[in-house]
Amino acid sequence: MIGTSLPLGVLTDNPNQEADKRLLDAYGGSRALLRAFRDMGVGAVELRAVRPDTSREVTSACARAALDAGLRLTIHATLSETSAGAFFDALAPALDLLPEDHPTVPVTVHSARTGSETLDRAATIRLLRLLADYAGRRGINVSLALENNRIHASGLSIVQCGGVYSTVREVNRPNVGTCFDFGHLYSNFLTYPEVTPFLPPDGFLRRAVQTHIHGVKGITHFPLLEGALPLEDYLRHLRAAGYRGIYNLELESGRFWREIEPRDGFELSVDRLKKTLAKLEEEGA
C-alpha cells in the first residue's frame, strides 16, 4: 500500500506556507485532494507531525478527514521528555477515532537529541521502553518506529541505520521497530560516503514497520525524479527482508514548489512509486 505524509495545515485547509496553499488550490481543498490521492492509489495518510502542543481539535480533524476519505492512518510524532500518558494523550484524538478493524498504527519518531551520542542513545532507549510498555499495558494498537535521520554537523552515528537498529535491539520490545527513511539514507550516502553504506543492515530492514520515501536533489523531501533516489534498489532489498507494510511518500512542497508545482510533484512521485512496486511484484521480488 502507498501512503503519503501530509501537514496538518493541509488536512485542515489552513496551510501555513504558500507551497501548501498551492497544493490545496490545485485540487480545490483538502477533501478533493484526499479523494484524488485515493483514486491515484494512495491508501494511507501520515499526520505530519503531531507534537505534544498540537491542538486536540486539529489532530482530531486531520484524522477524521483521512478516515472519512477511506484512508488508513499513520502518525509522525515527537519523542520528548514527557510522560507516556502525555505522549499518548496528544495522539488520542486521532487514535480514538479508529475503527476496531483498523490495522496497527505506525508512529514514527526521531531519536532524542541532547548533543551527546551517549546521552541520546540512553534517552531514546528509556523513552521508547516507557512508551512501548505503556501502550502494551493499555492495549493501544501502535508500533513505534525509530527513524534513521540525516547526519548533521555533530555527525552522531545514532541517526544512521546501524545506530537505529542497535538502539531498537536494545529497547527489545515487540511493538518497537524501525522506520526506513530512503531519502535520509541516500543523502548521507552522497554527503558522507566514507561512513554511510549504500544499503542498511539486514536487521534494520527486518525490523521496519514504516517507511519515508523522498528524493534528494541538493535537499531532501524532494519528488521522485529520475536520479533523485535509488528507489528500486531500496525497495528490492526492503521487500527481500519481508516488508509488506506502507510505502509512505514524505514530500515537502516548500522545498520544491519554485521548481515543480506541488501537485505535479506528488502525482509524479505516486506514479513512479506505483510503477516500481508493480515491476517488483511482477518479478516476484
CA angle 282, 106, 13 (to 5 degrees): 95
For residue 53, what are the contacts with CB-CB under 8 A and spacing of at least 6? none
Q: What is the pLDDT of residues 270-281, one digit of tens each?
A: 999 999 999 999
Mean pLDDT calculated for residue range 97-105: 97
CATH number of 2-283: 3.20.20.150
pLDDT at 216 > cutoff 70:
yes
- Considering the entire predicted model, what is its pTM? 0.97
pLDDT at 154 > cutoff 80:
no
pLDDT at 113 > cutoff 90:
no
Query: CA distances (Å), 107 to each of 52, 74, 99, 135, 140, in order?
Result: 14, 6, 17, 12, 11
**Chain center to CA of 60:** 19
The share of the chain scoring above pLDDT 90, in percent, equals: 93
Query: CA distances (Å), 151 to each of 70, 279, 284, in order?
Result: 37, 32, 34
Amino acid 172: pLDDT: 98
Mean pLDDT calculated for residue range 75-96: 96
Mean pLDDT calculated for residue range 237-261: 98
Map grid coordinates 540525516 to a residue.
150
Q: What is the pLDDT of residues 197-209, one digit of tens each?
A: 999 999 999 999 9
Amino acid 284: pLDDT: 87
Bridge-based pairing of strands 176-181 and 142-147 is parallel
Could you count the other beta carbons within 10 Å of the beta carbon of residue 67?
Answer: 18
Q: Roughly how many angstroms between the first and final C-alpha of the chain, as a whole number?
A: 15
Mean pLDDT calculated for residue range 209-224: 98
Mean pLDDT calculated for residue range 113-128: 90
115 pLDDT band, cuts 50/70/90, is: confident
If you average pLDDT over every residue of the chain, what do you get? Answer: 96
Contact between 247 and 274 under an 8 Å Cβ cutoff? The reply is no
Amino acid 155: pLDDT: 61
Distance CA 220, CA 186 (A): 9
Q: What is the pLDDT of residues 29-58, one digit of tens each?
A: 999 999 999 999 999 999 999 999 999 999
Grid coordinates belonging to 233? 534498489
pLDDT at 114 > cutoff 80:
no
Mean pLDDT calculated for residue range 49-78: 97
Amino acid 280: pLDDT: 98
